[in-house]
Structure 1
């Protein structure tokens, strides 16, 4: 049985067992650093403003996830992308005015085990 059109193209880039077959640097257009600095514990949320032009699929999915506040780490886990690639996608959305970020508060130190356990528990509940 042969596939035609978009179905054949999707079959080439997706695999049910392996997941995404597109390299992460392709998603970020080869960029290795976000234009907006953010941490894994930074909160991101959609502003309600629509970015100019059409969004790439990964940008659109990230924007949908930002409909409710969540951390950069949560967005990365849901997109199943490396954190640095997710930061690049989110910084593109920040530059477009579609997403805003908030740095973690002083109580959310990266070495604070209570915060890390809370994030891990939240990720386990969602995935």
Structure 2
């Protein structure tokens, strides 16, 4: 059975009822560069214009800083679609995005990479 928040878009037997690129109106390129480790966070500003349900879900998940890759996983959307949605939210002032270098961890930090590897091993 699909979760309550997923009901209109997911069906356990059929899978996703809306094709992922329909969510982004067929767009495959975001209006800004977003890295997998870019951190996005809600600004608290009310977005201007119409937002789709996935935009609203993404915005709701961004109360604290989250990396783009984690948001894609939580939204169950391809990374390209997630980046388009997040760029839309940044463009309308609802989100801020920071490059990974603005945070204390570096993608080549050995301790960070080992922690990620340990986490992946536990899940497999």
Q: TM-score range by the shorter chain?
A: 0.7 to 0.9
Q: Deviations over 1:71-127 (max 9, x none)?
A: 001100000001110000000000000000000028523x556435545739x89xx
Unaligned runs of 5+ in 2: 1-7
Between the aligned partners of 1:47 and 1:70, the Cα distance in structure 2 is 13
Alignment TM-score, normalising by the size of structure 1: 0.75
Alignment: residue pair count:
112
Matched, 1:33 2:29: yes
Unmatched 5+ stretches in structure 1:
1-9
Aligned to 1:104: 100
Q: Where does residue 3 of structure 2 map in the other structure? A: none
Q: Which 4+ stretches in 1 moved above 2 angstroms?
A: 106-109, 111-122
- Over the aligned positions, Cα root-mean-square deviation in angstroms equals 2.5
Q: 2:51 aligns with which of 50, 55, 58?
A: 55
Corresponding residue number in structure 1 for 2:112: 115
TM-score (norm 2): 0.77
Partner-residue secondary structure (3-state), 2:100:
coil
Q: Alpha-carbon deviation of 1:24?
A: 1.2
Question: Cα–Cα, structure 1 residues 23 and 39, in superposed 2: closer, same or farther, change >3 Å?
Answer: same
Distance 2:24 2:100 in 1: 24
Distance 2:78 2:109 in 1: 22
